[in-house]
Amino acid sequence: MGKTLEYQGYIIQSSPQQLAHGEKWQLRIFISLDNHRGVKTREFSADVLYETEQEADIHGIAFGQRLIDGKIEGQSVMGMKTVDRRATPRLRVQFRTTFSSSMNKEGMGVMLDLSSGGCRVESPVPVEPGVLLELRIYAPNVEWPLMIEAANVQWVSGLTFGLAFFRITEAEQERLGQVIEDLTESGEEGDHSV
């Protein structure tokens, strides 16, 4: 399932999580902010449990709106307004990338920049803002492509579009972090290509 909503400049994406025993659902949301200096995404969840995925989905979006409005005690999106460039460096790259959506749309493109929270891709295959894509990144010096389970299309401009990473496994997040660290250490800004 997973609803997506734009609200006061933020993107709220609901991604309910079924608990291990499989009876109840916990609301889990991702809130993203794209301020043209990069996309910043944070995950939030609540302890309330719901009977169905749909219930958790609907409450997740409402929870996200209240959170953005500053009505959830102890949780806030205020820190997302300012992006610390050193915390999430956006590196210029040229990596071959493939993507697919749940609507059976598939495509190939070239990743133009990459950070731990998102990327920019150029592709002749048209995509729409708000669509979730599964992404494979063919970075140098990795045995198999990096896999992003879900990346949300934040904006589209001509053949280029920006993605915010929403769902990525811990193992893939570590691999992505390693690729970014290697690129940063190599210091050859501007020519990280495959």
Tell me which of 89 and 48 has the higher pLDDT: 48
- What is the average pLDDT across 92-121? 90
Q: Does the pLDDT at position 84 exceed 70?
A: no
Q: Residue 134 — very low, low, confident or very high, per pLDDT cuts 50/70/90?
A: very high
Q: Could you state, in order of their start, the residue ranges of all structural domains in the chain?
A: 4-80, 91-193
Q: Residue 89 — very low, low, confident or very high, per pLDDT cuts 50/70/90?
A: low
Give the pLDDT score at 185: 79
Q: Does the pLDDT at position 192 exceed 70?
A: no
The listed CATH number (3.30.9.10, 3.90.600.10, 3.30.160.350, 1.10.10.10) that belongs to domain 4-80: 3.30.160.350
Q: Does the pLDDT at position 194 exceed 60?
A: no
Fold entry, domain 91-193: Thrombin, subunit H (2.40.10)
Q: Does the pLDDT at position 150 exceed 80?
A: yes
- Output the average pLDDT for the chain: 83
- What is the average pLDDT across 48-77? 86
Give the pLDDT score at 44: 85
Half-sphere exposure of 147 (CA within 13 A, CB side): 6
- What is the average pLDDT across 161-188? 86
pLDDT single digits (tens) 9-57: 888 888 888 887 778 998 889 888 876 566 778 888 888 889 999 999 8
